[in-house]
Chain A
Amino acid sequence: MRSDGHGNSRLGSRLRVRGRIAGEGIVALACRFEGRVDVRGAVVVATDGHVEASIRADRVTVRGSVRGDIVGDHVTIADGGQLEGDVRAAVVEIEDGATLAGAVDVRFDEASEVE
């Protein structure tokens, strides 16, 4: 029995998923995923994750590799993370060691909150 739901979803590294993910909560993708992600909440592409998808979520963290565009409030390309695609967000964070090939659009109207 499982009881640690708390809205946390996880697709592990030994899964391959093709399709669409929607809903809310925290979604960790360690799998190979192809398709589209649209989540109210957070999406984390784990170090093992290989995602070919457009991602839309409040909070997006890329530790693995993503090919596709990301739209969110706060997007982080973490150390070791790779993104091939465009980012549009109020806050964009590119850590040392991240690889990014694409355009970044940080919305100026909300940028003042970030300072």
Chain B
Amino acid sequence: MSEPSYIAEELQVVGAIEGDEDLFVAGSLDGDVVLDARLVVEATGIVRGDVTATQVVVRGQLSGNVRASEMIRVEADAQLLGDLAAPRVVVAPGARFRGKVSQRLAPRPSLALEPQAPRAVELAVAALALPPEAAQQVAVEPEDAVLVPSTASAPFAASTDAADTVAGVLPAALRPEPMAVPALRIALPRRVAARRRVGGGLA
């Protein structure tokens, strides 16, 4: 098997790329990408354009809307400006991200991302090193940045004015370690319609 496709740090590609093999970008790429495979934007990589792929991993910078049929992972130190649509979306602590998140993936990849507001924003479990079950237990209310636990076992509710610091409202039991929590910053667009994923929560 040959090496994967790789755009090295010193290289600039301007144009459209499509195909069905994994592509790693450590250089710069201006243009849309449509892959039936993975796109990885390396730490030095800069991608400006809309991306459609099975999986998208961002360690560097990406400006554009991202649609993945499987998952999108925005790693720490990544910088992402655009809307994300995928069944699984993970944003690591330390990542900079502005955009909408939709986990209701349209059945056809060709459908436009707009205009439906996401029903819910699921918090990245991996970002906090929580057990996978925790993903189903935590929902972010974009409008007021309130965390709502789905189980009565850990009842809590809090909100922040800044709507960007989720860490402070996590129950102590869910914090893996003190260091990790303050690093999580998720900026949520206020215009995203707030929907409560779980019943019960706040009065």
Which A residues are closer than 8 A to B by beta carbons? 2, 4-25, 27, 30-31, 35, 39
Asked if A16 and B18 sit within 8 Å, CB to CB, the answer is yes
Asked if A23 and B17 sit within 8 Å, CB to CB, the answer is no
Asked if B6 and A31 sit within 8 Å, CB to CB, the answer is no
Nearest B-chain residue to A17, judged by Cβ:
B17
How far, in Å, is A41 (CB) from chain B's closest CB? 8
Say whether B82 faces chain A, with CB atoms less than 8 Å apart. no
Asked if B15 and A12 sit within 8 Å, CB to CB, the answer is no
Say whether B171 faces chain A, with CB atoms less than 8 Å apart. no
Chain A residues with Cβ below 8 Å from B20 are 14
* Of the residues A7, A23, A35, contact of B15 by C-beta under 8 Å: A35
Chain B residues with Cβ below 8 Å from A4 are 3
* Of the residues A15, A19, A25, contact of B11 by C-beta under 8 Å: A25
- How many residues of B sit at the interface, in one of the four size bands? 20 to 34
Q: In residues 1-58 of chain B, which contact A (Cβ within 8 Å)? A: 2-21, 23-24, 26-27, 31, 37, 40, 42
Asked if A16 and B19 sit within 8 Å, CB to CB, the answer is yes
Nearest A-chain residue to B16, judged by Cβ:
A18
Asked if A22 and B5 sit within 8 Å, CB to CB, the answer is no
| Distance of A54 Cα from B185 Cα, bound (Å) | 46
| Distance of A98 Cα from B120 Cα, bound (Å) | 59
| Distance of A11 Cα from B37 Cα, bound (Å) | 14
How far, in Å, is B118 (CB) from chain A's closest CB? 31
Asked if B19 and A21 sit within 8 Å, CB to CB, the answer is no
Q: A7-B9, A16-B17, A31-B19 are in contact. Are A23 and B4 (CB under 8 A)?
A: no
Asked if A10 and B10 sit within 8 Å, CB to CB, the answer is no
Chain B residues with Cβ below 8 Å from A8 are 6, 8
Asked if B42 and A2 sit within 8 Å, CB to CB, the answer is yes
How far, in Å, is A80 (CB) from chain B's closest CB? 17
Asked if B15 and A22 sit within 8 Å, CB to CB, the answer is no
19 residue pairs from A and B, CB less than 8 Å apart: A2-B4, A5-B9, A7-B11, A9-B6, A10-B3, A10-B4, A12-B2, A13-B2, A13-B21, A15-B5, A15-B19, A17-B15, A18-B15, A20-B13, A20-B15, A21-B11, A24-B11, A25-B8, A27-B11
Nearest A-chain residue to B24, judged by Cβ:
A2
How far, in Å, is A115 (CB) from chain B's closest CB? 33
Asked if B8 and A7 sit within 8 Å, CB to CB, the answer is yes
How far, in Å, is B15 (CB) from chain A's closest CB? 1
| Distance of A18 Cα from B19 Cα, bound (Å) | 12
Q: Which of B2, B11, B12, B19 has the most CB of A within 10 A?
A: B11
Chain A residues with Cβ below 8 Å from B6 are 2, 5, 8-10
